[in-house]
Structures are given as structure tokens and as C-alpha cells.
Amino acid sequence: MENKEILEQVRATAQQWLASKIDNETKTSIINMLQNDEKELIESFYKMLEFGTGGLRGIMGVGTNRMNIYTVGMATQGLCNYLLKQFSHLDQIKVAIAHDCRHNSPLFTQTAANVFSANGIKAYVFDGLRPTPELSFAIRELGCQSGVVITASHNPKEYNGYKAYWEDGAQIIAPHDENIVNEVKNIK
């Protein structure tokens, strides 16, 4: 694919975001990239931030290839869809959510909690910073079916991440990882 084709595709994706129900600050950033920063526009929109085996991890910012409330929301909705299928026999599906001290971690935590709640999933949210092992313990102790920790671990400060855990308190593995990835890919 040539640069011109990539730029056309990226501009189309950015325009789709502008036409959607996103906040004004994000819209302003996209307009600025469209008018003044082709390189950043391409980096921000050339692909979807991929939900991999453990979840998401990427540079924070505006766009489909960045960690922001919209990509966190999509990942959480995909996880919700999968949990609702896997645990349809339960009266109440529960998750635990923890976060570290990274920039935007509390915002991403609240975003995930809101999406879980909107899907009828009970979200236990720690009231402050917590290490990942405490999330693993909470999942098992509270009888949760899943959990999320917002952290980018060892990555540079401009990164953040979203790691998903299963009911055993461990990071999600096969076949759940691939099934959740497929659910996330179905989110528009």
C-alpha cells in the first residue's frame, strides 16, 4: 500500500471519529492533526490498537492506535460480550478493576467500570493504587469471573495498558484470549 493510499485510509478513519459522539477535546486534536500533522495522524489512525493475549498496551493519545477512553471502552465492551456469553448461567457476573499510578489510569479505570456497569456486570473498583497481585487475589476472593488492571508495567511513561484476567486470577490465556480478541474486533 502506498503512502497516498495509507493517508486516504487514515483520513477516512479520522473523519469517522469526527462524525461520532466523541468529546470536543478529542475532536480538536483530530482536526489539528488533519490540518497540521500528517505524520502524527498516520501514527494515530493507521491501525486499531490490538487487543493481544494480555490486553492492550500503547502510547496514550487520540486515535484508533492509541490508549484512550474510546479504545479502553472498546476493549471492555468486547470483554463484556464474551463474559456475558460464557457466564450466561449466572445471576450476577462480577469483575474487579485495579490501576497503577500511570497518567490516565484512574480515567481508564472509571471508563472500564462504566462499560461493565452498563452491561449489567458488577464492577469492584479499588479506591486507590494497587499492585497486580492484589487484583489476582481480589478476583478469587470476591468470586469474580474476570478482572482488569490498568498498567503499562515497564514501558515508558507515555504508555498505558489494559490487562485482562480470568476467574482464576491469572492473565487470560487460550482459548479465552482469542475469543475476546474476536469480540473486540466486532466492536464498531
178: cell is 482469542
The edge-to-edge listing of strands for the beta sheet with 159-166 is 55-59, 159-166, 146-150, 94-99, 122-125
Helices 69-86 and 105-118: crossing angle in degrees, nearest 10, is 40
60: cell is 496514550
Long-range contacts of 167-171 (CB under 8 A, 24+ apart): 167/139, 167/140, 168/139, 168/140, 169/135, 169/136, 169/137, 169/139, 169/140, 170/136, 171/53, 171/54
Cα–Cα distance, 19 to 13 (Å, whole number): 10
Does residue 153 carry a catalytic annotation?
Answer: yes
Q: Which residues contact 22 (CB under 8 A, 6 or more apart)?
A: 70
Choosing from 44, 88, 105, 153, which is the catalytic residue?
153
114 membership: H or E segment, kind and range = helix 105-118
Q: Which residues are identified as catalytic?
A: 153
